[in-house]
């Protein structure tokens, strides 16, 4: 699973920073049928968690209403230098992970 | 009286046919040239211009990884021969489709990548429309982003160009419509809720929101053909390549936009 994350490399302590993540995923709704008339099983990224130095700061539980290649955008407060780790899993049990370093000054 | 009436009818018909034929002979560009982006809404434009939010960038990232990935028995990668795509592939997409020197056949960017993969890397070629081929094509085309198309018609590709032009003006399918009737004669007007674009291929492969994925220009051709209920040719077929060449010429000096986003 290809994914892209955007986290500012540097921030001041207490600054509100924007974090963006895009995951390449078909987000199959479970409502579609293939050319042979067979139902295509539902397969969506059902959970995404972001941890900042081990502390969970963001969690998304997604369903069939989310479009393919989900794009999420949220904010957090820069507190200390460290790492943001993203983990997600889809209905077929496939997992994905991305990480980014953040340097906090001041 | 009857004979005169018939004769006049025949003359009028002949004149109308002559005009229609005369019109069909012309290879013309729409004036002024407008990118498909000009016919979309502000949200779509914003999505394409945001290099992070643009969903096509996911395919670009994948293409970037594939560019470095060794394949085939010789474990060769694209980067092994061509070096960095940022320098080596700059401007390449503006010159496609073009005549392949070896086979003397018209090939597009997808075809060139496939050919490299088969003959140089000796690896299994990707399927047309596969995620891998779309990713690599988009990655290579993106290196020419902002550069004007520069396809020249000469003695080598004239035959393909003429075939493409003929297809562009040929009425097709149960709806009996040609490409030109919408995209040349009526661009800017409404077809249902959609504004008809000039139908340029400079943003391909594109992320189409309707498809919820990346797709090639040939996939778009098939969507149009399906819309006029005509026979669908397979992606990569010679007819589609000829049409792609005609469109590349028709796009004049419009800049490449890959990865484009459209509704």
Per-residue pLDDT reduced to its tens digit, B116-134: 999 999 999 999 999 999 9
Tell me whether B5 touches chain A (CB under 8 Å).
no
Last residue within a domain, chosen from B142, B158, B184:
B142
Gap between the Cα atoms of B189 and B195, Å rounded? 6
Collect all residues of chain A within an 8 Å Cβ-Cβ radius of residue B55.
Answer: 22, 69, 71
Summarised one tens digit per residue, pLDDT across range B28-37 is: 999 999 999 9
Confirm whether B224 is a catalytic residue. yes
The span from the CA of A3 to the CA of A16, in Å, is 23
A22·B62 Cβ contact <8 A: no
Q: Is residue A36 a part of any domain in this protein?
A: no
Q: Is B175 exposed, middle or buried (0-12, 13-18, 19+ CB in 10 A)?
A: exposed
CA–CA distances in Å: residue B220 to residues A62, B89, B262: 30, 25, 11
pLDDT value of residue B69: 95
Examine the domain organization and report whether B105 and B229 are in the same domain: no
Q: B58 and A4: CB-CB below 8 Å?
A: yes
Encoding tokens for residue B263? Answer: 């509704």
Clarify whether residues B155 and B214 are in a common domain. yes
Is residue A34 included in any domain, yes or no? Answer: no
Using a CB–CB cutoff of 8 Å, tell me whether A31 touches chain B. Answer: no
In a domain, B206, yes or no: yes
Question: Has residue A80 been placed in a domain?
Answer: yes
B9, part of any domain: no
Residue A17, chain B, CB below 8 Å: the answer is no
A32 shares contact with chain B (CB less than 8 Å): no
Domain C-terminal end among B92, B120, B142: B142
pLDDT of residue B25: 55
* Partner-chain contact A4 B57, CB within 8 Å: yes
Distance CA B29, CA B253 (A): 11
Q: In a structure prediction context, what are the per-residue pLDDT tens digits for chain A, which is 106 residues long? A: 799 999 999 999 999 999 999 999 999 999 999 999 999 999 999 999 999 999 999 999 999 999 999 999 999 999 999 999 999 999 999 999 999 999 999 8
Residue B49 in any domain: the answer is no
Asked whether residue A54 is assigned to any structural domain, the reply reads yes
Dist CA B78 CA B64 (whole Å): 10
Q: What is the pLDDT of residue B202?
A: 96
State mean pLDDT over B175-179: 96
The answer to whether residue B10 is domain-embedded is: no
Report if residue A48 sits inside a domain.
Answer: yes
**Quick one: B138 and B178 in the same domain?**
no
- A40 near B CB under 8 A: no
What is the pLDDT averaged over residues B68-84?
93
Residues B195 and B122 in one domain: no
Cβ atoms of A15 and A105 within 8 Å: the answer is no
Q: Would an 8 Å CB–CB cutoff place A92 in contact with chain B?
A: no
Instruction: For residues B179 and B127, state if they share a domain.
Output: no
Q: What is the pLDDT of residue B8?
A: 53
Domain span at B256: 30-44+148-262
In a domain, B255, yes or no: yes
Q: What percent of chain B has pLDDT over 90?
A: 86
In terms of DSSP bridges, do strands A82-90 and A45-52 run parallel, antiparallel, or are they unpaired? antiparallel
Q: Give ipTM to 2 decimals.
A: 0.90
Q: Is residue B8 part of a domain?
A: no
Judge whether A12 is closer than 8 Å to chain B, CB to CB: no
How many independent structural domains does chain A possess?
1
**Looking at the predicted structure, is the pLDDT value of residue B227 above 60?**
yes
Which of B52, B58, B65 has the CB atom closest to A69's CB atom? B58
Mark yes or no for CB contact B53/A22 under 8 Å.
yes
- Shortest distance between the Cα of B52 and any Cα of chain A, in A, equals 8
What is the least distance, in Å, from the CA of A23 to any CA of chain B? 8
Residue pLDDT, tens place only, B78-118: 999 999 999 999 999 999 999 999 899 999 999 999 999 99
Taking an 8 Å cut-off on Cβ atoms, the answer to whether A4 and B213 are in contact is no
> What pLDDT, on the 0 to 100 scale, is given for residue B260?
96
- Per the structure, the complete domain to which residue A54 belongs is given by 3-29+41-105
Domain with residue B128: its CATH number is: 1.10.760.10
Q: Which residues in chain A (50-69) have CB-CB distances under 8 A to chain B?
A: 67-69
- Mark whether B178 and B123 lie in a shared domain: no
CA distance B50 to B27: 35
Is B197 found in the same domain as B118? Answer: no
User: Does the pLDDT value for residue B22 go beyond 60?
Assistant: no
Instruction: Please determine, for residue B18, whether its predicted confidence score (pLDDT) is greater than 80.
Output: no
Domain boundary among B124, B142, B160: B142
Q: Do residues B34 and B158 both lie within one domain?
A: yes
Q: Is A90 a domain residue?
A: yes
**Looking at residue A60, which CATH number applies to its domain?**
2.60.40.10
User: At residue B1, does pLDDT exceed 50?
Assistant: no
Candidate from B52, B212, B213 with C-beta closest to A4: B52
The number of domains in chain B is 2
**Residue A66 lies inside a defined structural domain of this protein:** yes
User: Does the pLDDT of residue B6 top 70, yes or no?
Assistant: no
Nearest to B58 among A20, A24, A27 (CB): A24
Q: Which residue in the set B52, B53, B62 is minimally distant from A2, CB to CB?
A: B62
Which chain B residues are within 8 Å of A68, Cβ to Cβ? 212-213
CB contact under 8 A, B52 and A22: yes
Which residues from A are below 8 Å from B57, CB to CB? 4, 22
Q: What is the pLDDT, as a whole number, of residue A1?
A: 79
Task: In whole angstroms, give the CA distance from residue A84 to residue B116.
Answer: 39
Give the minimum alpha-carbon distance from B146 to chain A in angstroms, rounded to a whole number: 23
Element housing A57 (H / E) = strand A55-61
């Amino acid at each position: 699973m290809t994914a892209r994350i955007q986290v500012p490399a540097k921030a001041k302590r207490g600054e509100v920073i924007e974090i963006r993540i895009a995951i390449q995923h078909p987000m199959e709704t479970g409502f579609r049928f293939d050319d042979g008339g067979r139902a295509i099983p539902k397969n969506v990224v059902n959970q995404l968690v972001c941890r900042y130095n081990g502390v969970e700061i963001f969690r998304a539980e997604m369903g069939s209403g989310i479009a393919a290649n989900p794009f999420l955008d949220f904010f957090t407060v820069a507190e200390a230098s460290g790492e943001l780790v993203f983990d997600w899993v889809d209905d077929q049990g496939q997992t994905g992970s991305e990480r980014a370093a953040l340097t906090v000054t001041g | 009286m009857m004979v005169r009436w018939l004769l006049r009818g025949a003359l009028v018909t002949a004149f109308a046919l002559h005009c229609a034929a005369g019109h069909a002979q012309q290879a013309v560009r729409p004036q002024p040239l407008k990118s498909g982006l000009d016919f979309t809404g502000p949200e779509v434009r914003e999505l394409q211009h945001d290099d992070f939010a643009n969903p096509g960038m996911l395919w670009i990232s994948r293409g970037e990884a594939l560019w470095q990935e060794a394949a085939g028995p010789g474990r060769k990668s694209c980067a092994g021969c061509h070096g960095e795509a940022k320098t080596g592939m700059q401007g390449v997409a503006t010159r496609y489709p073009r005549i392949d020197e070896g086979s003397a056949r018209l090939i597009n960017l997808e075809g060139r990548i496939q050919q490299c993969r088969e003959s140089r890397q000796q690896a299994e070629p990707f399927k047309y429309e596969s995620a891998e081929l779309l990713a690599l094509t988009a990655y290579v085309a993106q290196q020419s982003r902002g550069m004007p198309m520069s396809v020249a018609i000469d003695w080598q590709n004239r035959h393909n160009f003429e075939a493409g032009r003929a297809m562009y003006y040929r009425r097709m399918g149960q709806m009996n419509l040609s490409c030109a009737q919408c995209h040349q004669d009526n661009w800017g007007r409404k077809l249902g809720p959609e504004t008809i674009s000039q139908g340029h291929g400079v943003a391909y492969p594109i992320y189409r929101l309707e498809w919820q994925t990346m797709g090639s220009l040939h996939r778009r051709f098939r969507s149009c053909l399906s819309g006029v209920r005509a026979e669908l040719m397979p992606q990569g077929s010679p007819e589609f390549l000829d049409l792609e060449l005609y469109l590349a010429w028709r796009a004049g000096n419009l800049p490449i936009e890959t990865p484009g986003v459209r509704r």
